Homo-oligomer: A and B are copies of this chain.
Amino acid sequence: MTVREIVEVHPQQSKIDLEVLLRCVDACVECAATCVSCADASLGEEKDRDELIRCIRLSLDGADVCEATGRVATRLTEPDFQLIAATVEACAVACRVCREECERHAEHHEHCRRTAAVCLVCEQACTDLLAALG
């Protein structure tokens, strides 16, 4: 992703391990897009839709929280680490909750199986960034 290239030439230095940070940014951007797509695929499941309502709702939440977290984590100029940590923490929770619901439908719906995997990566990237933030 190009954010990585921009961060490499960014005029401000980061106190955070850039590799851990960039993995989180990348995971948030990917997970937000995936959640938008999974909510839409679930909405389009004519037969099984009624069982996927919780999955749709949590994917919509996941998309919104991941998108905001990706933006906040991307910014290196004048960061506030309390704000970043609280946002990344919320993102880890959103990804876990969305993943757990997607896993319940993974056997019958391939899009849920793939979204669960992406949520797990993002949850882990958020947890790693939280550890790096101390």
Q: How large is the interface on A (under 10, 10 to 19, 20 to 34, 35 or more residues)?
A: 35 or more
Q: Does A128 contact B (CB under 8 A)?
A: no
Does chain B have a CB within 8 A of A58? Answer: yes
Q: Within A12-43, which residues are at the interface with B (CB < 8 Å)?
A: 12, 25, 29-30, 33-34, 36-41, 43
Check A44 for interface membership: any CB of B closer than 8 A: yes
Interfacial chain B residues near A89, Cβ < 8 Å: 86, 89-90
Task: Enumerate chain B residues within 8 angstroms of A43, measured Cβ to Cβ.
Answer: 53, 56-57, 77
Query: Is residue A61 within 8 Å, beta carbon to beta carbon, of the partner chain?
Result: yes
CA distance A53 to B67 in the complex (A): 23
Contact of A67 among B38, B45, B67, B118 (CB under 8 A): B67
Enumerate chain A interface residues (CB-CB to B < 8 A).
Answer: 1-3, 5-7, 9-12, 25, 29-30, 33-34, 36-41, 43-46, 49-50, 53-54, 56-58, 60-61, 63-65, 67-68, 70-72, 74-80, 82-83, 86-87, 89-90, 93-94, 97, 110-111, 114-115, 117-118
